[in-house]
Amino acid sequence: MKNPFNKFYHVPNSKEFLDIAFKRGMKSSAQVSQNAPILIKAKKKESKRIKVAIEEIIDRILKVIKMVPIIDDLPDFYRELASILVNIDELKLTLGKINGILPVLRKIKREYIKKLNRIEAPKEGDQLRRAAFGRISSIINKQNKNLEYLNKIRGRLREIPSIDYTMPCVVVAGYPNVGKSSIVKNISTNKKIEVKEYPFTTKKLYMGHLEIERRFDKIKIQCLDTPGILDRPMGKRNNIELQAILALRLISDLIIFVFDPTISSGYSVESQIELYNEIRYNFSKEGQIEILIIFNKMDLARDSEIQYLREKVNLKENEYYLINALTGENLDKLISDLKERYRGNE
């Protein structure tokens, strides 16, 4: 399904709300006979202005509320990822506060239209409309903090990748700076993934696709680049790492674990092995989800480093891929094997 927060668009601040509403209110005109008394015209005109301004604000607030899906109704992946990215309780509370001003605005509309019906001079109509606009401004300005909060968090939620539950999902995992992003960039359609030479460049989930031609049709598999994970207790992992853990736990059909046998990543081989074992024991669903192993940075790795890692992980020659993710060297074998794996389901 598409990211349920995809339509969480720009949220106006209080000034934007009021400027739009009052401008439309002041431009509106009531249908009144040309021959009607001035007092009647004043009543109709100012009533229309108040009504249009308040209804404009109410409509826009309702649109803001409807842009945010009901969190508790979302699939597990989206619901849990949203709770990692933002404080869901605060989000619900904020929406509740904004929704709470709607009956107040409706009451003001009724109150001032009733007052306008009782005026005895045209200038009283202008005074009442100004008073109504003042009360409206006070109410909306008090919500500015909530409106700005919603606009602040929407960017994080809109960046959640769309997951198609009918497609297989290959999750690429490992320590920071081991080459995960370069691998996904090279094997998938997503060429916009940022690759840099320092850890924690990837701070969110990135989705790409690998297209596979079969005998009678074409299929796509999803390739998910995840932020780096450190070998430490779950309670000490930050929100960036937890996104990767969530993807491994909920949407992986195949896991690609990337090792850096060298010291260039800044993390020891032993730490990487500990993380690999954690993923193997906790996220392969008792062996039901296979893990493909990659040794990256073949241009930098010494034979002794590769041999040491092989022995530590207990791998035979044909049980891992030795590649250079930056240049794409030897990735053709991984791509070929992925295509063969999923082509076999035709």
Based on the fold, state whether residues 141 and 185 are members of the same structural domain.
no
Q: Which residues contact 44 (CB under 8 A, 6 or more apart)?
A: 30, 31, 32, 36
Q: What's residue 163's pLDDT?
A: 93
What is the distance between the alpha carbons of residues 122 and 119, in angstroms, rounded to a whole number?
7
Does 54 reside within a domain? yes
Based on the fold, state whether residues 76 and 110 are members of the same structural domain.
yes
Based on the fold, state whether residues 227 and 132 are members of the same structural domain.
no
Does 163 reside within a domain? no
pTM of the model: 0.86
Does 127 reside within a domain? yes
Give the neighbor-by-neighbor strand order of the sheet with 169-174. Answer: 206-213, 218-225, 169-174, 254-259, 291-295, 321-322
Q: What's residue 39's pLDDT?
A: 86
Based on the fold, state whether residues 176 and 325 are members of the same structural domain.
yes
Based on the fold, state whether residues 240 and 335 are members of the same structural domain.
yes
Tell me: the pLDDT tens digits for 172-221? Answer: 999 999 999 999 999 998 877 666 555 556 788 999 999 988 877 888 99
Rounded to 5 degrees, what angle do the CA atoms 279, 80, 290 make? 25
Does 26 reside within a domain? yes
User: From the CA atom positions of the chain, what is the Rg in Å?
Assistant: 29
Does 117 reside within a domain? yes
Based on the fold, state whether residues 192 and 322 are members of the same structural domain.
yes
Chosen domain end from 158, 186, 204: 158
Chosen domain end from 158, 177, 193: 158
Of 255, 247, 337, 322, give the one whose Cα is nearest residue 290: 255
The H-or-E segment that residue 224 falls in is strand 218-225
Query: Residue type for 56, please?
Result: E
Based on the fold, state whether residues 154 and 173 are members of the same structural domain.
no
Q: What's residue 191's pLDDT?
A: 77
Of 64, 279, 81, give the one whose Cα is nearest residue 161: 81
Q: Can you give the residue range of the structural domain that contains 277?
A: 169-343
Q: What's residue 324's pLDDT?
A: 94
Based on the fold, state whether residues 254 and 318 are members of the same structural domain.
yes
Which domain CATH number covers 180?
Answer: 3.40.50.300
Does 5 reside within a domain? no
Does 2 reside within a domain? no
Contact between 171 and 248 under an 8 Å Cβ cutoff? The reply is yes
Which residues does the chain have with pLDDT short of 50? none
Whole-angstrom CA distances from 48 to 25, 26, 103, 125, 230 are 7, 9, 19, 11, 62
Which domain CATH number covers 106?
Answer: 1.20.120.1190
Number of domain units in the chain: 2
Does 72 reside within a domain? yes
Based on the fold, state whether residues 136 and 238 are members of the same structural domain.
no
